[in-house]
Amino acid sequence: MKAVNPATEEVIRDYPEHDATQIERSLARAERTFHDWRRTPFVQRAELLKRVAEHLRRNLNRHAHTMTEEMGKAIAESEAEVEKCAWVCEHYAENAERYLAPETIESDAGHSFIRYDPLGPVLAVMPWNFPYWQVFRFAAPTIMAGNVALLKHASNVPGCALAIEAAFRDAGAPEGIFTTLLIPSEPVNEIVRNPIIRAVTLTGSEPAGAAVASQAGAVIKKTLLELGGSDPFVVLADADADAAAQAAAPARPINAGQSCIAAKRFIVEDAVADRFERALTDRMAQLKVGDPLDRANQLGPLARGDLVDELHDQVQRSIQTGAKLLTGGQPVEGKGYFYPPTVLGAVEPGMAAFDEETFGPVAAVIRARDTDHALELANRSDFGLGASLWTADTARGKELAAEIESGAVFVNGIVKSDPRLPFGGIKRSGYGRELSALGIREFVNIKTVWVK
């Protein structure tokens, strides 16, 4: 299992994969640990998560460098990601007991109530684009709920996976609380079917989600899926087009555009479309691409060479069907998997940039006749993860949020994840919710207790 620096195309390190015996031992250890961990009081679980947060902050530079080196994230973004992971640990350390407190329900019983009990070992299949945050937003609530966590991370970020396991170990976590499995995709189905695993969460592609969900469904196991997104960024005629463009320019290329919730389809009413398009194009063209360890650069490389090829193919197919190239549009020559900030105008349904998820720094500008047309275009997608809506009338914005088919709508702001707010999608973006009180309740037994 090789880790390759996407900025240089050089092999960082070759990691040996875990064999069947190691996998079996890890599963057995997780099961043993769960039987003790599920009975630990919340205060003890919270102390562990707080120590993990302390470890992350104390070793921020090392963790951030590992992220940037393995998947190409700009170093400032890597540092922010480590800090966010510490935050989610602290959030659940401080709130899990309240989120999972028993709830009295009036019935014909003398006393009836709901309690939230842990399920057991939970398997997470995680992607490379946010190699720490995706893991911690699963692990923090899962472990605080009394479960134990096993991670099958993306094969191109093995160093990140092992560093996260080491963070728990260094914080004093019992062996088996958090386990990294260095494995390719092939053994995942068998692990999902293993009776030790009680639930599965996956963040990644639609095919991966469908495959894991089908295996889990065959053995009747709970799953949570967070898949792709083609988030609309809707700008109404009454919005400040310059302010919207100022927010849009960094929103699209964050993480070199490799974010499920990054704005991808910029749907703008005709009245302000020219102004918005010019402002967005100017700002995108000014972004600097290069070595992600150099703080002068805002964009690093894409994570792999095949991702550059796929993205460029989507751009070319969009242009061939009538889209206008306004800036960018050609892979950067030389070493590294770099793609420039790109803006496409005159994009319409039926084009790749509209219909498909573009996982890279490509913004598609779509013109709408009016508000109704803008909402229709926003919903004309197989995805439904997040949406951003820009208007001078916030009361109207709240009303229109009900018309947008997505797991989240941000009015006059870019879509982001926050430990305090539920996160997840509908349609082909998946199901279930992470974060907040709803997230920690995904992998517990919601148990009714009736007492005469």
Q: Domain ranges in the chain?
A: 2-227+429-451, 231-418
Bridge partners of residue 390, in order along the sequence: 235
pLDDT tens digits, one per residue of 183-212: 999 999 999 999 999 999 999 999 999 999
Asked whether 336 and 301 are in contact (CB, 8 A), the reply is: yes
CATH of 231-418, one of 3.30.1330.30, 3.10.20.740, 3.40.50.620, 3.40.309.10: 3.40.309.10
- Cβ neighbours of residue 309 closer than 8 Å, sequence gap 6 or more: none
- Judged by DSSP in three states, 183 sits in coil
Bridge partners of residue 448, in order along the sequence: 114
d(CA 383, CA 435): 20
Structure tokens belonging to residue 408: 């989240």
CATH architecture assignment, domain 2-227+429-451 = 3-Layer(aba) Sandwich (3.40)
Residue 7: per-residue pLDDT: 98
pLDDT tens digits, one per residue of 212-258: 999 999 999 999 999 999 999 999 999 999 999 999 998 899 999 99
User: Residue 16 class from Cβ within 10 Å (0-12 exposed, 13-18 middle, 19+ buried)?
Assistant: exposed
Structure tokens belonging to residue 370: 């009016």
Residue 251: per-residue pLDDT: 86
Asked whether 187 and 27 are in contact (CB, 8 A), the reply is: no
Residues of the chain with pLDDT under 50: none
User: Which residues form the catalytic set?
Assistant: 226, 260
Residue 352: per-residue pLDDT: 98
Report DSSP letters for 226-258, one per residue. Answer: E----EEEEE-TTS-HHHHHHHHHHHTTGGGG-
